[in-house]
Structure 1
């Protein structure tokens, strides 16, 4: 790779970084390439940020380019720290006020179902998204409680989705295998890393010149809440670069966050809450048995196989109780039975669920009579 000239401005440096990414990796969309470039650039200004967004590089199968993308990210980010085979203590001790960029390949070794002994590292990756979330450790030698920084940007590559606690704080890149006719240049560490590190040094020099400006920036964001926290450093970098980058950054934000919404990745409790809305339809109340029957009737829902006998009334009650929803003894036309009132779900549906569709396929067939006795 030919190194970038020293006189490039910020927009040109980002253009050069996107070109480098596209040289070695087939990214799913131009928006994904822009997002990765902005994330890498943001690692060089970490002291300016209130939040440290994660970069999740995930793929459905092997050989989708996730490790190669991590290689290019390592070559262009600020002070890369590979955490493979690193002890949790070593990672914690490496984080300073000007933190390194943590890089984790094969992230299932930390988050997968068979992962053991990585609780401290999982805790760091969860806590380190926001400033002033230090880990507390007791030092027996000094007899004092020690406060250890956790704030650091981190890139994680793996097969399949990461835990919600990570992906909810991440820029997510969904890799895929190269298709027919798609080619990339081979990446050779000895040959290609040196010019990429020169590019990294130029980006670092550009952004470090005005950390105070970056720290006080308050950009207009096309998303809200935690998504805004995650994407804000990237948008600030784009605004600072100027020219075409502010528009490209916001397009990347809306495109990639929309992909996340289309994934349908919900926690089991949120999926249950949403599926209960479909199951109720327009009924004012349902017996627990009927609600369970309707939930399990959906072949694409997990409730038929949720446990040895599928979702049970007890498990249903425990999950809904988190939202303040409890069963009651209700008098139905067919007799008295334990069940749920639709009205008790309305607040939770409005707060947690995606907007409902106007048409609902479940007919209104069960109407409760006035008697209601709260269940214990």
Structure 2
């Protein structure tokens, strides 16, 4: 006689995610349908933390107060796995809290006060959050009591809410949700912890029951991803959960991945070195200078003049003293890309002076700041693996234990702006 499949293994994952989606849109106005889907999948992924090689961060940021970021964190707290919420914690306390085999989900409100200038950019906590994105990146401390090295696990899911951007190294490992203030006419239900959290915790238990029963499948999953590199590492748990759920969620997860990753990349302020590469390319084009053999090159003095003359660039007042970019500092910045000046013979009026060959920049330009004017329309700077067709939503392992959802979510845009 065939044994019946346990009820928790036949749970309708898509329906559970639909319920979570409805709860999010009931209490919070999120900026887009993709943002709602991303938060729902991130919350679900916290319940399957043992299955993941990477623990994506959730960054909830807003330009001003009263944009709903703390309310969203309240709903996340009520529905995620083993929440540990704080507004101010020392790195040592956080290390001890998450340094277990079954760490909680770390939730940090008012994170801007931790990483802002007034807090002198808390490097220890930032380092913990960076390291904890990947397994097997322990913090190492000296224990005076045992006179030995102590390895403290750092791997844990974490969400941070605050005003303004988080450190680049954190946002690079995060699903970034850019909240905004509710517009006139946009309404949500008030959230009351004592009244509303019990129902949300019941939903959290349903998520845990469903996902913990499928940890082996989730750990083995290798979903087709629409992005690459660290973005793929960050989003893979969310896409794997969506593939497990079935229904419309596999397509929605990949759409959210592509949309929010593009938004994050588009809003990222380039580093000084990347900005310098881009501005050097502009300077070469406007100078139109060659050496005495016709090879594109530019004297260092001309390059510096062009860089410092751009009123929208930082080079005129670059440096701690605000004295502007110097030839020495220019050389130090470019040396990171193996670009170095040399003695070049130019025609009049320059003669033989220090300068740079354009050919020495080509590889760095191609790798770090591809010219959009030379990229074929619709082609990314680095090829991405295409999303799978709707008939095969990225499921690369048999998931026979799970009954897929056959219902269509009707709440995709409800309550969003």
Mark yes or no: TM-score above 0.5: yes
Select 1:31's aligned residue among 15, 23, 34. 34
Q: CA deviation at 1:264?
A: 4.4
Select 2:310's aligned residue among 275, 295, 298. 298
1:332 and 2:346 are equivalent in the alignment: yes
The residue number in structure 1 matching 2:242 is: 238
Residues 130-164 of structure 1 deviation map (CA, whole Å, 9 limit, x = unaligned): 00000111111111111100000111112222222
SS at match of 1:56: strand
Select 1:286's aligned residue among 266, 287, 298. 298
Select 2:191's aligned residue among 178, 183, 187. 187
Q: How many residues align?
A: 354
The residue number in structure 1 matching 2:48 is: 45
Q: CA deviation at 1:327?
A: 1.4
1:343 and 2:359 are equivalent in the alignment: yes
What RMSD, in angstroms, separates the aligned Cα atoms of the two structures? 1.8
SS at match of 1:114: helix
Q: CA deviation at 1:117?
A: 8.4
Structure 2 CA distance for aligned equivalents of residues 77 and 296 of structure 1: 50
**262-271 or 226-235, which moves further after superposition?**
262-271
SS at match of 1:172: strand
Structure 2-normalised TM-score? 0.81
Structure 1 CA distance for aligned equivalents of residues 374 and 12 of structure 2: 50
Structure 1 CA distance for aligned equivalents of residues 370 and 23 of structure 2: 38
Structure 1 CA distance for aligned equivalents of residues 72 and 281 of structure 2: 41
Higher relative contact order (CA 8 A, sep 6+): 2
Structure 1 CA distance for aligned equivalents of residues 250 and 156 of structure 2: 24
Select 2:22's aligned residue among 7, 19, 23. 19
The aligned runs of 1:79-158 (5 Å cut-off) are: 79-95=82-98, 96-116=100-120, 118-158=122-162
**69-78 or 226-235, which moves further after superposition?**
69-78
Structure 1 CA distance for aligned equivalents of residues 63 and 317 of structure 2: 23
Gaps of 5+ in 1: 1-5, 360-376
Change (3 A) 1:208 1:351: same
2:115–2:121 Cα contact (<8 Å) kept:
no
Gaps of 5+ in 2: 1-7, 290-295, 376-417
The aligned runs of 1:5-16 (5 Å cut-off) are: 9-16=12-19
Structure 1-normalised TM-score? 0.90
SS at match of 1:14: helix
Q: CA deviation at 1:265?
A: 2.1
Residues 337-356 of structure 1 deviation map (CA, whole Å, 9 limit, x = unaligned): 22211111111111111344
The aligned runs of 1:261-276 (5 Å cut-off) are: 261-276=265-280
Select 1:169's aligned residue among 158, 161, 173. 173
Structure 2 CA distance for aligned equivalents of residues 279 and 181 of structure 1: 49
Q: CA deviation at 1:312?
A: 2.3
**116-125 or 209-218, which moves further after superposition?**
116-125
The residue number in structure 2 matching 1:314 is: 328
1:66–1:158 Cα contact (<8 Å) kept:
yes
Structure 2 CA distance for aligned equivalents of residues 106 and 321 of structure 1: 38
Q: CA deviation at 1:306?
A: 2.2
2:87–2:111 Cα contact (<8 Å) kept:
no
Change (3 A) 1:180 1:298: farther
2:11–2:210 Cα contact (<8 Å) kept:
no
2:109–2:160 Cα contact (<8 Å) kept:
yes
2:243–2:249 Cα contact (<8 Å) kept:
yes
Change (3 A) 1:91 1:341: same
Residues 9-63 of structure 1 deviation map (CA, whole Å, 9 limit, x = unaligned): 1101111111111111111100011001100100011000000011111111222
The residue number in structure 1 matching 2:215 is: 211
Q: CA deviation at 1:68?
A: 1.2
Q: CA deviation at 1:336?
A: 2.3
